[in-house]
Chains A and B, each alone.
Chain A
Amino acid sequence: MNLDQNPSSGGRTYTCSWCGLTSEGIDLSCPACGAEVDVRAVVTRSGWTELPGRRDMAKLQFGQSYCQVEGTYVPVADMNLAAGDSVYFAHHVLLWKDPAVAVTSMGLKGAWKRMLAGMPLIMTQAAGPGHIAFSRDLPGELIALPLQHGQTIDVREHLFMVATGAVSYDWFASNVWFTTKEGDETETHYPLGMFLDRFTAQGAPGLLLLHAGGNVFVRTLEPGQSILIKPTAFLFKDTTVQMRLHIERPAGTWRSWRSWGDRYFWLRLHGPGRVAVQSAFEPLEDNGRTIVDHSGATERRW
């Protein structure tokens, strides 16, 4: 949080530590991302920053519209869309809407690839004026990521909730995988999913909302700094952060124990850039079979 005397504007300005927006500092929360202005960043001893506190009913401004975030347990994003503004979303997150708000489906390029990966094929779009609200099915945190003009962010699949019309949506192969073999049966595993979502603010600033399970922690990796995280706990990263599969074998294990944990799969995140994890994660499946191929994983045997 920075409250500075700014003579040129004739008063104080406020720069949000979460999203970097500079505003007049007259509100209780950042108008772009909803983070409270009067709380200090909560940082763990190891350098992770907790998602900043957000007042219940905080309002996030975008275009002529705003989004009110309601509730703290499973937060609801309640959009008040102005005429001409639109949002798009994965259809299973829709909670309620005004009957007047029209919902249409968006065409997605390469949709057949998404079907193979078991991802939602249909992205849905809603245009103002009117109210439309979104929420997810598990307790957790709503992450507001205001994207500056030209800014891009990579997000793990299924976390996306809603984005404003100014944000473009694309996806790319995660390239984090390993193949196991037993007898004639080979199987390829994608600890992160086959694809990552990529969101870019094009032409104008945009707002991206994600929903994470449990609590959210963010840190900025220095150039060359790396950290190992559980792949299913990964949330998002700057495009500058490189990812690689890392296989760790604890000391004292036997090969015959493999399906019970003679190896751990990690995602190595390599700076520079911002990375985020969620504390509630799905289990990572491992059938314990012999790994015959992988996406250039590093390995460590203790």
Chain B
Amino acid sequence: MTDPHLPPPLPPMPQTSQASQTSHHAADPGAPLIRLQCQWCQSMNEPGALACRTCGAPLDVKDMVSDSGWREAPRIRDMTEIHFGASTCQVEGEIVPVAEINLGQGDAVFFEHHVLLWKDDHTAMSVLPLTGGVKRALAGMPFIISVAHGPGRVAFSRDATGELVVLPLHPGQELDVREHAFLLCSHTVQYTFIRVKGLRNILFGGNGMFMDRFIASGTQGLLLLHGYGNVFERTLRPGESIQVEPGAFLYKDASVTMDVEPIKLTSGLFGGTSMNLARMTGPGRVGIQSMYVHHATE
């Protein structure tokens, strides 16, 4: 069934000068695929790199995009290292992956403190001063964001099976993230939160009505999310929209608008019942998770 209001399906993902960025070893068509440009975060890599230096995505595997245009978040190989600033992040494990950060001098990451797994004794801790935090606390949210400062190691993980979604933020990018879904973010990224109007009791199960907003202004930043189950991303063109289960929403570019629409189910069996879907309208990226638990806030 096709919706006449929807624009035609997405064309293949834009791939700039694909031929020059994809090569095969020694002109052998059976050799593994090696990319210079990462298809996930668009960063360029050294020839011979097996994983993207900036986001950890494997460079030697086929891009996983469904016929409907959803791209699977790359499954980061065990022990992959990601570089940001003077620091590194090693991704460990594949069931509930751990992000282990080795912070360089002068670098810091911020996070919600309940995701801490372990740390060195000497890794200094502080909190991020937030304006408007009181409003958010009143809505039942923890409004304190903790900061770990280099030098030192600190490791993070979450409470359930899922994927670590690595989103390098290029200068000028703004990303909105489902509350409590972010694992950690580098200190060069500006953090704020936005009030989601009209979504109380729908999007967040009554526990909140905020989204975290991450803005990379001057320099490149690194944002790590934990998505429950598998994570998929799709890029919407201007005016293109898609309806998603609100509990599955994980992140979006700030340019994507989100409106919750009730869907009336008026068959005899479900008379009077309605369900809600979030209409996301482009342009920009939308990320969803396949296991949409309504996790309690802390």
A42-B78, A46-B153, A261-B144 given; A283·B100 CB < 8 A:
no
Instruction: State how many angstroms separate the Cβ of A156 from the closest Cβ of chain B.
Output: 15
Contact at A228–B120, with CB atoms within 8 Å?
yes
Please give the number of chain A residues whose Cβ is less than 8 angstroms from any Cβ of chain B in the complex: 41
Quick one: closest B residue to A141, CB to CB?
A: B95
Give the number of A-B contacts (CB < 8 Å): 128
- Neighbouring A residues of B100 by C-beta, 8 Å: 44-46, 48
Interface residues on chain B, number (Cβ under 8 Å): 42
Residues of chain A within 8 A (CB-CB) of B119 are: 228, 266
| CB <8 Å contact, B118 and A228 | yes
Cβ contacts under 8 Å, B117 to chain A: 229-230, 233, 277, 279, 281
Contact A282 B95 (CB under 8 A): no
* B146-A279 in contact (CB<8A): no
Measured between C-beta atoms, what is the minimum distance from B127 to chain A in Å? Answer: 5
**Cβ contacts under 8 Å, A213 to chain B:** 96, 159
Chain A, 198-218, CB within 8 A of any chain B CB = 213-215, 217
Residue B214 interfacial (CB < 8 Å): no
Interface presence of A139 (CB below 8 A): yes
Would you list which residues of chain B between 97 and 111 have a CB under 8 Å from chain A? 97-98, 100, 102
Which of A141, A214, A250 contacts B127, CB < 8 Å?
A: A250
Cβ of A260 within 8 Å of any chain B Cβ, yes or no, is yes
Query: A50-B78, A280-B158 given as contacts; is B142 within 8 A of A302 (CB)?
Result: no
B95 lies within 8 A of A279 (CB): yes
Asked if residues B126 and A280 are in contact (CB atoms below 8 Å), the reply is no
A250 contacts B125, CB within 8 Å? yes
Stretch of A26-34, A83-91, A251-259, A289-297 on the interface side: A251-259
A148 to chain B, nearest CB (A): 28
| B127 CB contacts on chain A under 8 angstroms | 250-253, 257, 261-262
- Closest A residue to B91 by beta carbon equals A44
Contact of A279 among B96, B113, B129, B153 (CB under 8 A): B96
Q: Is B143 an interface residue (CB 8 A)?
A: yes
Q: Does B114 contact A (CB under 8 A)?
A: yes
* Chain B residues, CB < 8 A from A141: 95
Candidates A45, A73, A261; contact of B146 at CB < 8 Å: A261
- Chain A residues with CB under 8 A of B161: 138-139, 214, 280
16 contacts between A and B (CB under 8 A): A48-B92, A138-B160, A214-B157, A215-B93, A227-B121, A228-B119, A230-B116, A251-B127, A252-B127, A260-B137, A279-B93, A280-B158, A281-B157, A284-B114, A300-B121, A302-B126
Closest 4 CB pairs of A and B: A214-B96, A215-B93, A251-B126, A250-B125
